[in-house]
Amino acid sequence: MRRLFALLLLLLPLSAAAQLPPRVVILLPLAGQPMFGGTEIVLDVERGGLPIEKVEIFFDNVRVAVLGRPPWRTIVDAGQENSEHHIEVIVHDTRGATASAEVRTPRLQVDDEIDVDLQQLFVTIENNGRRQEGLTREDFTIFDDGAPQTIATFEGGDIPFTAVLLLDASSSMSGPRLRTAVDGARSFVQSMNRLDEAKVLLFSDQVRKETPFTSVPSILTLGLGDVEAGGGTALNDALYVGLKRLEGRLGRKVLILLSDGVDVESVLPMEQVRAIARRDQVVLYWLWLRREGETTADPGAGPQYYSAWRDAEGHHGERTQLRDAVLESGGRIEPLDGIEQLRSKLDSILHELRDQYVLGYSPNNLRGSGTWHRIELRLRNSGLKVRTQEGYVEK
């Protein structure tokens, strides 16, 4: 009897422990942060007395994932609308005990009402090769087709952006070159801020691989390591696809191209691609992989190229159009003598985007849809170098 009583006493704590419920905490996203685009939900799940059977994740009242084992995380698409969102998580153990947690994320608070006719300028200011900080709106004067404009909005510093990273995956990128390019894209995304979004698009004579817009590095480069370089280069067609992906996106739009700039397969001419970049006010950056024999800083110069589609003069014209499209957008051309320079060049572009000034004004000289307006931006300090888009197409 004593032994039986002692055994019962020993089993009581075990029985009590088996009754402990599981526990769950939502680590990400944080309750006070707005959600946009692809967002990772990260959970801290602890078992009670019994193993976890499943974890259900609901996003805006729709079940989006059922997890049976760690890691306790998933990805949801919050879209681009400025909306509140509700995340609820329910944990079940093998006995049927449950635990739950929820997070509500707010809308992004906008203090100023934005005029639908507002034109925005994304401005880089340099002083002897270093970006200049600390300027105010009084340091800038905007001229739209020669007419002075009133600056309505002025921001300095970090403004969210949406980017397309367009990476050449043709046969010239075979071997470790393409893997190095993908690693550079991964590093770029890991350094982005929460409200930034990007997608990676690998191309040759066709789109080889494309990721969704997201700010989550693991999604952005998912499956890219399996792509083998090969085929020709349809540069103009790929630029067109990248620009179309940015169509309708809000805010600052950026396209970063990694290529030698020689198109041998495209159906579309660069002139048509350039017109779309102008219309949608996309800032273009060209990471120019120079070929052997190219030593100038101008992609319009250097060796001549021939293909079945174009003679040397035709190729020269296409590259010149690409160069001009980049410069008039307010972006820049970065020559690369080796793919190993890619990561530092991407890092430089990211820092530039972080340090830009954003100026907004409502044009006082509208002339009709489709009209090209030339912009001139002057600084009070004439010793500083200014770079921004050269103009826009009136909507």
**Nearest 5 degrees, angle CA 234-CA 259-CA 340?**
145
Contact yes or no for 88/43 (Cβ under 8 A): no
Please give the structure tokens belonging to residue 322: 């690409």
- Based on its alpha-carbon atoms, the radius of gyration of the chain, rounded to whole angstroms, reads 27
DSSP assignment of 247-290 equals: TT--SEEEEEEEE----SS-SS-HHHHHHHHHHHT-EEEEEEEP
Amino acid 300: pLDDT: 64
94, 106, 109: which is closest to 29 by C-alpha? 106
Q: Is the pLDDT of residue 8 over 70?
A: no
Instruction: Domain ranges for the chain, please list them.
Output: 19-105, 119-157+356-393, 161-248+255-352
**Please, where are the H alpha helices in the chain?**
2-18, 176-190, 217-220, 235-246, 270-280, 312-328, 342-355
Ranges 137-151, 200-214, 274-288: which has the least confidence: 200-214
Residue 223: phi and psi, rounded to 5, are: 80, -5
**Is the whole model's pTM more than 0.85, yes or no?**
no
Ranges 37-46, 73-82, 380-389: which has the least confidence: 73-82
Residues ≥6 apart with Cβ < 8 Å to 200: 165, 167, 182, 185, 209, 210, 211, 220, 221, 224
**3-class DSSP assignment, residue 128:** coil
Amino acid 301: pLDDT: 63
Amino acid 81: pLDDT: 75
Q: CATH topology for 19-105?
A: Immunoglobulin-like (2.60.40)
293, 348, 290, 298: which is closest to 323 by C-alpha? 298
Residue 113: phi and psi, rounded to 5, are: -80, 130
Distance (Å, rounded) from C-alpha 279 to C-alpha 360? 17
**What pLDDT digit, counting tens, does each position of 259-270 carry?**
987 888 888 999
Q: Is the pLDDT of residue 62 over 70?
A: yes
Contact yes or no for 215/195 (Cβ under 8 A): yes
Amino acid 10: pLDDT: 47
Tokens 């309750």 identify what position?
Answer: 31
**3-class DSSP assignment, residue 327:** helix
Greater pLDDT, 37 or 141: 141
- Give the H or E element holding residue 7: helix 2-18
**What pLDDT digit, counting tens, does each position of 214-254 carry?**
887 777 777 777 788 888 889 999 999 999 999 988 889 99
Which sign does the torsion angle of CA 181, 227, 187, 255 carry?
A: positive
**Quick one: residue 301, left, alpha or beta (phi over 0 = left, psi -120 to 50 = alpha)?**
beta
**What pLDDT digit, counting tens, does each position of 313-355 carry?**
777 788 889 999 999 999 999 999 889 999 999 999 999 999 9
Distance (Å, rounded) from C-alpha 253 to C-alpha 272? 19
106, 58, 60: which is closest to 82 by C-alpha? 106
Percent pLDDT > 70 in the chain is 88
Distance (Å, rounded) from C-alpha 323 to C-alpha 180? 25
Q: What's the mean per-residue pLDDT of the chain?
A: 85
Amino acid 113: pLDDT: 43
Work out whether strand 391-393 and strand 372-379 pair parallel, antiparallel, or are unpaired: antiparallel
Residues ≥6 apart with Cβ < 8 Å to 8: none
Interval 358-384 mean pLDDT: 91
Residues ≥6 apart with Cβ < 8 Å to 43: 24, 25, 26, 27, 55, 57, 72, 73, 89, 101
User: Which of the four pLDDT bands, split at 50, 70 and 90, describes residue 9?
Assistant: very low
Amino acid 303: pLDDT: 57
143, 144, 124: which is closest to 135 by C-alpha? 124
Distance (Å, rounded) from C-alpha 179 to C-alpha 228? 9
Amino acid 351: pLDDT: 93
State the CATH architecture for 161-248+255-352.
3-Layer(aba) Sandwich (3.40)
Please give the structure tokens belonging to residue 371: 């009209």
